[in-house]
Structure 1
Amino acid sequence: MVTMVIYEDFTSFIMTDQHQHGLLSEGFARNWNENNFLGFEKKESVLYAIAQHDRAWIDIDESPIWNDKSGAPYSFHDYPIPIKLQFYRKGIDEIENQNQYAALLCSVHYTNFFMGMAEDHRIRRYLEDEKKRQTKLFDILNIKQTDMELDFHYQLLKFCDNLSLFVCMQEAGALDSGVHEWFKNGIKQPFEQFPEKNFQVEWSSCHEIIIYPFPFNDDFEISVPIRNVPKNLISKYGIEDAYHKTPIHFRTVKIKEN
């Protein structure tokens, strides 16, 4: 994913820094039921990958920019491809400098975004470069592409990423038509430990989310910093200044089994 997680209501754009969304993802992974965690000796590397998978956007999210075509701030839906790819590379380079296994997971995560899009020469070049990186890391780490633990760790990254987006991309407590279209049928994730292959996720209140099947150790609470940037403030000051003039508040949610 890329810069700013954003949705809007009548008066504001509700904006979450992408790296904060990544840190929220790691909060879910840290609470995963240890009995269902494959490759436990790699857990810290996996948690690092999940926490840092969007770290490339730390600097760029400091200066949100306006999309004249959509009449809204640029978000991860519409950020220009050349800049997006440049920062994908930057982020994975930084992660690789700290943890090679985490870099492999993040590289696989990013390249799978672009399945079926290689007709764009910029994307094709990016995929070629990342495949070279992956080949190198597979060799250094002495693991295969078909490694079951690697697949589980990748699926966990995806699941926690999506669950974090569920928290950040819509109003707290959203029901029925208010639920973002990505989540109307739950979150599909093919974990071998869960034969349902689909997690039902819904708000039971503005402060609680129920998940079934429940993959975590126990009920827990998470928080993420968010800004509700008023549209009239944007009209007066522009998106960057309005964003920084808007105070941060925390969305705190309890994750429950029932």
Structure 2
Amino acid sequence: MEETNDKLIIAGVEFKSRLWVGTGKYKDFEETKKAIEASGSDMVTVAVRRVNIFDRKSPNLLDYIDPKVYKILPNTAGCYNVEDALRYARLGREAGISDFVKLEVIGDDKTLFPDVCGLLKATEILAKEGFIVLPYSSDDPIVAQRLVDAGAAAVMPLGAPIGSGLGIRNPYNIKIILETVKGVPIIVDAGVGTASDAAIAMELGCDAVLINTGIAGAAQPIMMAAAMKHAVIAGRFAFKAGRIQRKLYAAASSPFDGML
């Protein structure tokens, strides 16, 4: 963010915004474009298996996202095994989109929780192939460290199940990840439902937040995108400023010494 002169850098790439946004669930590409603009984000994720990236004669989301303005992050959403995740990650790179990949290996339809074993395997393979791997993970601190050991360039623990809007359900696990996993950014991915959720993630010390449904599913997505932008900035400011300690009893704002 320019306001703090506090840039997020991953694999040598600098990002001005700490809000990353998805592109699914909008009513059309025009609304998607306007919401991205309102968010102030410069990292936009696109599902390789759900978005047409090869047939340039058909309507194409990539026509609405200027690669000179935004870093495009291919993701492997909808992949339920290692083989599919590897295939779509490679397709994104072959299409010339990016060496970055938001890696998802989903465990089941109901929770959309990650398949941790498959995620670790796919992370290791793609990292060896030169991908900049950003895995969507559970909020387990041990798994987070294993992903870094496997070559992940960042770790993206869920705040709550994908699309649930439940916010940060386990801030204590997120704090443990922040304290124990060193050397890579920690980016909350999934579960953010409104601006206060985004602010909480940033106040904990997370490096960024990735949001899709919380914006696209809002009654007014463009307005919510702007709200999320300001929430992430405020949350980062608050983290850097350092909050006061919580106390059981009151503490007067003005000292009593010297009163008439």
TM-score, normalising length: structure 1: 0.34
Quick check: which one's helix share is greater?
1
- TM-score, normalization by structure 2: 0.34
Bigger relative contact order, structure 1 or 2, given CA contacts below 8 A and separation 6+?
A: 1
